[in-house]
Chain A
Amino acid sequence: MTAPTVEPVTRLIDQPRVDLYAVAARDPNPIHRETPEAYSGPFGRPVAHGMLVLALVSEVMTNAFGEAWERGGSLKVRWRQPALVPIEVTARATLRSETDGVATYDVSCEDAAGEALLTGTASIRLES
């Protein structure tokens, strides 16, 4: 199998989406919701969960690799700036290397202005 091109995914992350995510991911941190803690916090408003932003990276890899992404796929990322909601996020993965049957992609999530919210790598063993 040759490492495929990974198509980007763009999605609006708004407060209703964040609220749903807080319940689904069992993350009670009030900084993500419309709470006094969020408005008095360092960002002055609610911030999307980092793992919600990261979910878009996993989605683009699943789109490209299907179930193979679940068998030995790995991610290593750092968040670069907070995703202040509402925000339009685009997840990308660009092939960096293909060595010994393992493809490594540079991955990122960007806001609508192209500012990086998250960067890192994703690796996957290419199945024959």
Chain B
Amino acid sequence: MTAPALAFDSLSRGDAFPAVDLVVTGADVRAYLEATGEPADRWSDRVPPVMLSALMLATLLAQVEIPKGIMHTGHEHESVRAARIGEALRVTVQVTSYSVRRGALMASFDTEARSADGAGDEVIAISRASVLVPPADGTTSATEGNAE
């Protein structure tokens, strides 16, 4: 695994990351369900929607240095259809907001997963992740969000 290339504080609104190819295997799904505790029998051929959302977010985490203390404060996800296990997907990430208030950095990232199988370019799911990076002096309330 290569180190993330981008510093978080170098981002700005409108930045778009290079598309990332993603294939979710059956082993990936089984490992995810073992971790979450959700029954596995219903997901023999498809990817749970929130798993896909987490992996879409992971494409961002792989490209950006994670700031100390970052908190995942909000999340939106819309599933158009379930991704199939083994389906070739292409994930894009864009910075949709980026601001600093009272030393705290707030940003949101839109991610989109499309089918890359065949000639299709079908949207499978879209997500928006909102994050907060508290100021270095730690003055932001710990109840403002959950670490991610």
Contact = CB atoms under 8 A, between A and B. Distances in A.
Contact of A26 (B38, B53, B58, B69): B58
Interface in B7-58: 28, 31-32, 34-38, 42, 46, 48-51, 53-55, 57-58
Given A17-B35, A75-B76, A50 B147 contact: yes
A113 interface: no
B96 interface: no
A96 interface: no
A28 B54 contact: no
Interface in B46-74: 46, 48-51, 53-55, 57-58, 61-62, 66, 68-74
A21 interface: yes
Given A55-B38, A72-B79, A20 B31 contact: yes
B99 interface: no
A98 interface: no
B43 to A, nearest CB: 9
Contacts of B55: 25-26
Q: How large is the interface on A (under 10, 10 to 19, 20 to 34, 35 or more residues)?
A: 35 or more
B105 to A, nearest CB: 15
Contacts of B71: 79, 82
B121 interface: no
A79 B36 contact: no
A11 B146 contact: no
A49 B36 contact: no
B42 A54 contact: no
Contacts of A52: 35-36
B36 A29 contact: no
A78 to B, nearest CB: 4
A81 B146 contact: yes
A71 B142 contact: no
A76 to B, nearest CB: 5
A43 B75 CA distance: 21
Contact of B79 (A41, A49, A53, A74): A74
Interface string A60-104: 001000110111111111111111000000000000000000000
